[in-house]
Amino acid sequence: MTVPVDRSYRALLGVPALGRVLLSMQIVRIAESMVGVALVLFTLGEYASPALAGLVTLVSILPGLLVSPIAGALLDRHGRTRLIILDYCVALVTICGIGLLANAGVLTPALLLLIAGVSSLTSILSHTGLRSLFPIIVPSHLWERVNAVDSNGYVVATIIGPPLAAGLVALLGGSTALVLIGLLFGAAALAMIGAPDPRPAAPSTASVWRDAWDGLRYTWRNRTLRGLGFGISVQNLSSGMTTIVVPLIVLTRLGLGEAAVGWVFAVSGITGMCSVFVAGRLDTRGREWGMLVAPGFVLVVALALLLPGLMSLAFVVLSMALIGLLNGPMDIALFTVRQRRTDPAWMGRAFAVSMSFNFIGMPIGAALAGALATDSLEAAIVFGIGAAFVGAVLLALLVPRQAPDASSTAVSAAAPSTD
């Protein structure tokens, strides 16, 4: 008689030390969502320079994306938990350092950019380390559940972090707010102490540079990861567009205040949270392609609700609610298909490259939409709609519908394609 497999969220509580990892993850997700807002507000208040604020944001993200192949190689060579803790400690020192130096009156713009860049360099270690740790310590029949918790970690942080950061800056000042946010990274590091740190299945004897290069080759030759990279990165151009266009619509076209912007984005977070938990209860095996592609095309309709003629608070709220609902199945399918079609020995390197490839569309989309919206808000919206449509087409054409489970397939560096 076959014993039924428990696929419930409750079963996650039985995974040793997973609760500790998830607690640390949620603390740092909230801290990350706070620091992005606080840095911008701090820079504007301290230097009255929107250009510097934009440059600080860029420098706090881009270096980490560029070094992702090396970060992935380190994760596969040395384990994950200790490197995740290292990144949290670097964030603790750098974010608190910015606040303390500002309070001392010695923080120059150049020093601010340097510290922000240093903080970015290790950030990929925790982002990739956590996501590649889950499929190692969590049984495969619970991957959808833990991926739902992972995805909702960002949703909860989006709802809580930005308003909290803005409130701290308003009450205590930007420099003090940054020190408090930095301490959250320290709390996350403490929570991770004692978490499992599985050793690599096959430690590499090559140089870290060779491992990084092999990680790039593996990701490129893996048809699923390559297809996701092109499709999701183009689709994320539209996500970058919404971060710029939605506030502009609410503030300039609808004449509402900053608080309304927060509530509009909160709608997306709330519907996204519900959607992720429902999608996380599904067995996605064999369904990932449809869960990626179908919502991708519906996203085009959701973004079209922002167009002139429809532009009203009701349609903006409806658009954001639909975007949140669509993110649920897409996130779960993305996380699980990447886990299933990546050999465990390559998860650090492949996930680092894949996640950076996927995410790079967001800041690029925000920058392009901001430039377009300066002259025409409508042009920025059309740009986002077009990016969403092209991204969905690329996912449909480039991501294989079916592929072998890489967790049971040996993959060599010489021929690293699992599809």
Q: pLDDT digit string (tens) for 78-87? A: 778 888 999 9
Task: Name which residue leads in pLDDT, 390 or 15.
Answer: 390
Strands (E), 127-277: none
The answer for residues whose C-beta is within 8 angstroms of residue 116's C-beta and 6 or more apart is 39, 56, 59, 60, 94, 98
Do 1-203 and 206-401 fold alike per CATH? yes
Q: How far is CA 410 from the centre of its chain?
A: 29
Most confident of 24-33, 121-130, 156-165: 24-33
Task: Name which residue leads in pLDDT, 191 or 8.
Answer: 191
Architecture of domain 206-401: Up-down Bundle (1.20)
305-324 mean pLDDT: 86
Most confident of 126-130, 155-159, 288-292: 288-292
Q: Which CATH number does the domain 1-203 belong to among 3.20.20.60, 3.40.50.720, 1.10.3720.10, 1.20.1250.20?
A: 1.20.1250.20
Domain ranges of the chain: 1-203, 206-401
CA angle 378, 318, 396 (to 5 degrees): 75
106-131 mean pLDDT: 88
Percentage of residues of the chain with pLDDT beyond 70: 88
Q: Tokens 């808000």 sit at which residue? A: 377
The answer for residues whose C-beta is within 8 angstroms of residue 14's C-beta and 6 or more apart is none
In Å, what is the CA distance from 147 to each residue of 12, 239, 278, 368? 11, 20, 12, 31
